[in-house]
């Protein structure tokens, strides 16, 4: 998005104790690359890394130079966190973007949250202005922010309604609250098959989606599940396991 993600003074509001023990996970042994360079909010990144480690994933931190070299071969997933999308657009070279797309086509999962989902879409719509130049385009559709009908200010907690009819959400809670910080909703292009895993309870707009891309997936979240320890983490783990073709036995 076209602003920084989370001010330092809000951390005391959002940080919660981690679970005492990470749950045993079918994702153990998989490697996820987490982008930590300019644009990635450090607090969003830290929370996301804790979430992925709780899932049992091995985390590798990546900078723009690494991504632009295409050093992605052993990654099961690549994560771009919340923060500020213009540096993602500027710092990831055309060759780097093509490398990400190729890796996804060959089976990698791209995961983006908030700014990471804005960067991922073919079209980024920010306060009514449409941007296409430099977009990654792994998600065929638009990321539209801030999602209307949630809150008039910059941040709040808002409810998500989970699509329990989808196998990726099996055993998950029907609804939970999650941090919204000028976050987008995610609108697939017409005719593109897209799995809507959760919607904003207030509006029904897609908040968490997965879209097939070759052998891989674009898995995007508008709001910030990394801050909502508990049911949000379980849903994220279940969706990622489903995308990777693993069992999702809770």
Residue pLDDT, tens place only, 241-250: 999 996 544 4
132-166 burial code (b ≥16 CB/10 A, e <16): eebbbbbbbbbbbbbbeebbeeebebbbbebbeeb
Separation between Cα atoms, residue 56 and residue 172, nearest integer Å: 18
d(CA 205, CA 172): 20
**Domains of the chain with bracketed CATH:** 8-243 (3.40.50.880)
Pick from 164, 117, 160: nearest CA to 142:
117
CA 64/CA 30 separation, integer angstroms: 22
CA 80 to chain centre: 7
Name the pLDDT band for 26 (thresholds 50, 70, 90): confident
- Name every residue whose Cβ is closer than 8 Å to that of residue 211 and which is 6 or more positions away in sequence: 139, 140, 141, 188, 192, 193, 194, 195, 217, 218, 220
- What is the model's pLDDT at position 154? 95
Higher pLDDT, 107 or 17: 107
pLDDT at 8: 44
Place of tokens 């980024």: 124
Cβ contacts of 241 within 8 Å, gap of 6 or more: 25, 26, 27, 247, 248
CA-to-CA distance for 110 and 107, rounded, in angstroms? 10
Q: How many separate helices (H) and strands (E) can be counted in the chain?
A: 7, 13
181-232 confidence digits (pLDDT tens): 999 999 999 999 999 999 999 999 999 999 999 999 999 999 999 999 999 9
User: In 3-state terms, what secondary structure has residue 43?
Assistant: helix
pLDDT in tens, 46-76: 999 999 999 999 999 999 999 999 999 999 9
Average pLDDT, the chain: 92
Q: Within a 10 A sphere around the Cβ of 128, how many other Cβ atoms?
A: 6
In this predicted model, what pLDDT tens digit does every residue of 138-158 receive, in sequence order?
Answer: 999 999 999 999 999 999 999
Share of the chain above pLDDT 70, in %: 88
Q: Quick check: bond before 146 cis, omega within 30?
A: yes
Grouping H, G, I as helix, E, B as strand and the rest as coil, residue 175 is strand
């Amino acid at each position: 998005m076209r602003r920084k993600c989370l001010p330092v003074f809000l951390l005391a509001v959002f940080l919660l104790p981690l679970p005492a023990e990470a749950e045993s996970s079918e994702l153990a042994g998989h490697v996820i690359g987490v982008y930590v360079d300019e644009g990635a909010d450090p607090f969003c990144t830290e929370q996301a890394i804790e979430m992925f480690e709780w899932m049992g994933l091995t985390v590798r931190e990546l900078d723009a130079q690494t991504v632009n070299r295409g050093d992605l071969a052993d990654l099961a997933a690549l994560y771009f966190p919340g923060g500020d999308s213009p540096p993602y657009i500027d710092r990831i070279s055309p060759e780097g973007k093509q490398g990400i797309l190729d890796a996804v086509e060959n089976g990698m999962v791209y995961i983006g949250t908030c700014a990471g989902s804005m960067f991922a879409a073919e079209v980024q719509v920010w306060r009514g202005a449409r941007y296409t130049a430099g977009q990654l385009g792994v998600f065929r559709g638009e990321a539209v922010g801030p999602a209307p009908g949630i809150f008039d200010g910059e941040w709040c907690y808002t409810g998500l309604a989970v699509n329990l009819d989808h196998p990726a959400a099996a055993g998950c809670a029907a609804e939970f609250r999650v941090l919204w910080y000028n976050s987008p909703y995610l609108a697939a292009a017409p005719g593109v098959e897209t799995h809507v895993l959760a919607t904003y309870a207030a509006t029904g707009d897609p908040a968490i989606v997965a879209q097939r891309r070759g052998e891989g997936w674009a898995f995007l979240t508008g709001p910030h599940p990394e801050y909502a320890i508990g049911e949000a983490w379980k849903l994220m783990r279940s969706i990622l396991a489903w995308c990777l073709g693993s069992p999702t036995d809770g």
